[in-house]
């Protein structure tokens, strides 16, 4: 990702070969099967980062890349667990509720 010609983020994650075995490794995904990446750019990125960190599980993480940009990688045991973690974050970042079709 570039902003005004400045390279600010590149995700080099590659899953090849025996992906199940790779995801089972504790240092990679500890058996999780659902992963999401969020890049957020806004003047409130530093404040938003603090709010979303409170929603993340112990396998997920988030970092401020610049004053106006953060990245978060969400790792969950399955799609439902990922959705439960992701929806409050998206609601917060968009300052609205996601469509009902996203909710269970």
pLDDT tens readout for residues 14-44: 889 999 999 999 888 889 999 999 999 999 9
Is 77 domain-assigned?
yes
Is 100 domain-assigned?
yes
User: What residue numbers bound the domain in which 71 lies?
Assistant: 38-104
Q: Which of 80, 73, 70, 5 has the alpha carbon at shortest distance from 39?
A: 70
Measured in whole angstroms, how far is the alpha carbon of residue 60 from the centre of its chain? 7
Say how many C-beta atoms besides its own lie within 10 A of residue 70's C-beta: 24
Is 85 domain-assigned?
yes
Instruction: Find residue 7's DSSP bridge partners.
Output: 2
- Note the pLDDT of residue 22: 92
Is 28 domain-assigned?
no
- The helix/strand/coil state of 23 is helix
Lowest mean pLDDT among 1-10, 54-63, 64-73: 1-10
Is 73 domain-assigned?
yes
Q: How many domains, the chain?
A: 1
Is 30 domain-assigned?
no
Is 46 domain-assigned?
yes
Is 49 domain-assigned?
yes
The answer to whether the beta carbons of residues 89 and 72 sit under 8 Å apart is yes
In our burial notation (b when 16+ CB lie closer than 10 A, e otherwise), range 21-57 reads eebeeeebbeebbbbbebebeeeebeebbeebeebbe
Residue 98 has pLDDT above 80, yes or no: no
């Amino acid at each position: 990702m570039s902003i005004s010609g400045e390279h600010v983020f590149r995700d080099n994650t590659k899953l090849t070969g025996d992906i199940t075995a790779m995801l089972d490794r504790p240092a990679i995904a500890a058996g999780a099967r659902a992963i999401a990446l969020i890049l957020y750019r806004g003047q409130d990125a530093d404040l938003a980062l603090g709010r979303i960190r409170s929603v993340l599980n112990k396998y997920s993480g988030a970092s401020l890349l610049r004053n106006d940009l953060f990245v978060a990688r969400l790792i969950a045991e399955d799609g439902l667990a990922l959705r439960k973690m992701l929806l409050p974050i998206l609601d917060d970042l968009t300052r609205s509720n996601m469509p009902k079709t996203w909710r269970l």
